[in-house]
Amino acid sequence: MSYNNRGMAYINKGEHDKAIADFNKAIRLDADLAMPHCNRGLAFLRKGDANTAIADCTDAIRLDPNFALAYVVRAAAYEKMAKQPTLKETWPKPRSSATRRSDSSAGTR
């Protein structure tokens, strides 16, 4: 998490390329954490690259559908593009059918 924290410090200083480099390192260390994906999206958004910000925030949402900040940053990126997302673009992907089966069968016994 130290790369993630330093990346946020770089964002606050306006050093977005350094922030992105640190978020890349954080993601390489643990690609399953949503926060560095979202924060990298924020850095790209601040650089003016809304498309990459949307992609990073979508990855963060895929990793943790309850991570509200990812939705906020992604919405800001869509607003910057003046593009209204489709429902398919904004809705989290469904869990695998194997997970759904095990969840639904738990209450039927």
Domain ranges of the chain: 2-106
- pLDDT at position 84 is 63
What number of other Cβ atoms are within 10 A of residue 92's Cβ? 12
3.30.70.890, 3.40.50.1100, 1.25.40.10, 3.40.50.300: CATH of 2-106: 1.25.40.10
CA-wise closest residue to 54 among 37, 41, 35: 41
Give pLDDT, residue 3.
95
**pLDDT score recorded for residue 1:** 74
The CA distance from 96 to 50, in Å, is: 29
Cα atoms found within 13 Å of the Cα of residue 45, Cβ hemisphere only: 22
Question: Along the chain (109 residues), what's the average pLDDT of each consecutive run of 10 residues?
Answer: 93 97 96 96 96 96 96 93 69 61 47
